[in-house]
């Protein structure tokens, strides 16, 4: 789940950092990068990126502690995004690119796509059920193992 969030928030990071660079073009806090090296690894440290991303992680962590149904919300978002991005569009692009006509292979690909659509719908239903269940037992900042 952690890796999924790293992928999901990258566009958010990019948008915020690009807008900040455009708005404060002359700010060294926003635009200056400090070269660093750890062993053979060379890095560029940007103070704005470090501070903004740290605040973002802290806010999300507090939200996760305040809302015990946070994981169900992530599951719902994952279910909504999984089928179109991972299955449907790639399958349709493959069919179009290879110019596959209706037949055995076309039917197999469409069946695969439909099967994963049903799986995504089932996961979305389970996530909605989990959110509903958690909302009825909602107690902010309380965790029960």
**Tens digits of per-residue pLDDT, 47-101?**
999 999 899 888 877 877 777 677 787 788 888 888 888 889 999 999 999 998 8
| Residue 125, pLDDT above cutoff 90 | yes
| Percentage of residues in the chain having pLDDT higher than 70 | 88
Tokens of 63: 């939200």
pLDDT given for residue 118 in this prediction:
95
| Residue 145, pLDDT above cutoff 60 | no
99: left (phi over 0), alpha (psi -120 to 50) or beta: left
pLDDT given for residue 1 in this prediction:
47
Question: How far is residue 79's CA from residue 131's CA, in Å, rounded to a whole number?
Answer: 14
**What's the mean per-residue pLDDT of the chain?**
84
The average pLDDT across 23-48 equals 89
Question: How far is residue 145's CA from residue 80's CA, in Å, rounded to a whole number?
Answer: 28
pLDDT category at 23 given cuts 50, 70, 90 is very high
Q: Are 120 and 82 in contact (CB under 8 A)?
A: yes
DSSP E strand boundaries for 1-145? 33-38, 41-46
DSSP classification of residue 88: I
pLDDT given for residue 97 in this prediction:
92
Contacts of 77 (CB under 8 A, 6+ apart): 8
pLDDT given for residue 81 in this prediction:
82
Q: Are 124 and 77 in contact (CB under 8 A)?
A: no
Neighbours of 127 (CB within 10 A): 21
105: closest CA among 95, 93, 113?
95
């Amino acid at each position: 789940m952690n890796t999924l969030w790293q992928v999901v928030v990258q566009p958010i990071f990019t948008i915020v950092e690009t807008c900040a660079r455009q708005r404060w073009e002359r700010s060294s806090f926003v635009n200056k990068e400090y070269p660093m090296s750890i062993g053979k690894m060379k890095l560029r440290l940007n103070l704005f990126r470090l501070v903004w991303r740290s605040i973002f992680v802290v806010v999300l962590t507090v939200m996760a502690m305040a809302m015990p149904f946070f994981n169900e919300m992530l599951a719902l978002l994952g279910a909504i995004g999984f089928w179109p991005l991972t299955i449907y569009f790639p399958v349709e692009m493959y069919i179009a690119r290879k110019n596959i006509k209706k037949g055995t292979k076309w039917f197999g690909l469409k069946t695969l796509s439909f099967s994963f659509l049903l799986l995504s719908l089932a996961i979305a239903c389970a996530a909605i059920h989990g959110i509903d269940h958690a909302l009825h037992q909602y107690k902010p900042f309380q965790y029960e193992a």
